[in-house]
Structures are given as C-alpha cells and as structure tokens.
Amino acid sequence: MSAPKQTPLPAILLANHLLDGDVVFFTPNGWSRDPREALVAEDRATAEALEAEGVAAFKRQEVVDAYLVDITRDSHGLPVPNHFRERFKVRGPSNRPDLGKQAEFV
C-alpha cells in the first residue's frame, strides 16, 4: 500500500466561502479574499496545521472544499499557484479582467 499523496511545498490553503462561494485563503488572521495575505506553508508541520484548519473551518460551516495548493513566489514574493485551475480561481473570470477581484489584486 502506498503512502497518501502529499502536496509539494511551499503551499497555501485555498477554499470556497460557504455563504457566497468566493475563493478564500487562510491567513495568519483567518480567511481572506486577498491571495497576497495567504499563509504559506514552507514545512510539512505547517502544511498539516493548515489542513487541520481547513477541516475545522468546514465543521464550523465557514468554508467548503479546503485544500492545499502548491505555489511559487513571484518577483515580489507573493504566492502564485502552480496549476492553471488554481491560478484561474485566484484571478476570477477571465472575460473581464477590469472587473471583480482580478482588478483588485493585480
């Protein structure tokens, strides 16, 4: 039997807010829509703590579908998801980049 797959590090915890469905990120101060504030797990212990927070937040009915996302850092040190699906979730709809959160978090 093989070991469970682990998300490569560094990683952030991404989820959907339960009431409005928006993508949120776990930060040192709780959940935020701003990906720049995401708490980055650089080690396995922090990654496990983030996963535990995702489970706890689901039980508190704050978020759904919380999972770790492997990232790289851009030239400003900000987290950028490595996979297209998560980059798309962070940016929001691509048909109007001048509107919504993608315009806010340039």
pLDDT, tens digit, for every residue of 75-99?
Answer: 988 899 999 888 878 776 666 667 7
Predicted pLDDT at 30:
96
Predicted pLDDT at 102:
64
Residue 41 lies in a domain: yes
Residue 70 dihedral angles phi and psi, to the nearest 5°: -75, 145
Segments in the chain below pLDDT 70: 1-4, 92-97, 100-102, 105-106
Identify the DSSP state of 10. S
Predicted pLDDT at 105:
62
Residue 49 lies in a domain: yes
Residue 4 lies in a domain: no
Residue 1 lies in a domain: no
Identify the DSSP state of 22. -
Residue 25 lies in a domain: yes
Residue 24 lies in a domain: yes
The domain containing residue 59 runs over which residues?
Answer: 11-104
Nearest to 69 by CA among 3, 6, 26, 13: 13
Structural tokens at position 29: 């101060």
Q: How many domains does the chain have?
A: 1
